[in-house]
Amino acid sequence: MRHAARRAVIGSLPYSARRLDFPREARLVRRGEFDAVYRTGKRRSNSHFTVFFRANQLPHSRFGFSIKKALGGAVVRNRIRRRVREVVRRHRLEIPAGWDIVIHPKSNVAKAEFAALTADLLRLLRIN
């Protein structure tokens, strides 16, 4: 199936039916959205992540990722981003709805076991 045709099919599904994708409405994309989370949100952290979160008035949660340049070169940062996004994509429906969440990975995320990352991030995201 061509990319545009696939996007049209996925885009026609209701939000709750899109189980394993990571649609735009589930992402924080504007700087102002990130700033609002930092300004008025709360923070939690563990050995792999620092998570900032703030309630939104939406029926779903939105996620943003911020990977500092201090974590490594572009290849390392992109690997970290892909790993964290995959955790969120796979478990998005298990995470409580109604939150804007910004995730800051720490340097050890690049080499940590994927199962350990998943467990640590999901533990932090039990917001309620």
* pLDDT value of position 3: 55
* pLDDT value of position 49: 95
Asked if the structure places residue 11 within a domain, the reply is no
In this prediction, residues 84-90 reach a mean pLDDT of: 92
* pLDDT value of position 17: 46
Asked if the structure places residue 74 within a domain, the reply is yes
C-alpha span between 69 and 62 (Å, rounded): 23
Amino acid identity of residue 11, one-letter, is: G
Asked if the structure places residue 7 within a domain, the reply is no
* pLDDT value of position 23: 86
Which of 25, 28, 48 shows the shortest CA–CA distance to 37?
28
Asked if the structure places residue 19 within a domain, the reply is no
| CATH code: domain of residue 32 | 3.30.230.10
Asked if the structure places residue 92 within a domain, the reply is yes
Asked if the structure places residue 110 within a domain, the reply is yes
Query: What is the domain extent for residue 64?
Result: 25-124
pLDDT digits (tens, 9 = 90+) for 1-50: 555 555 554 455 555 544 567 888 899 999 999 999 999 999 999 999 99
C-alpha span between 113 and 99 (Å, rounded): 27
* pLDDT value of position 1: 52
C-alpha span between 86 and 25 (Å, rounded): 16
Asked if the structure places residue 115 within a domain, the reply is yes
pLDDT digits (tens, 9 = 90+) for 95-119: 899 999 999 999 999 899 999 999 9
Asked if the structure places residue 17 within a domain, the reply is no
Q: Count the domains in the chain.
A: 1
Q: To the nearest 10°, report the CA torsion of 89, 120, 62, 50.
A: -140
Tell me how many helices (H) and strands (E) the chain has.
Answer: 4, 4
* pLDDT value of position 55: 94
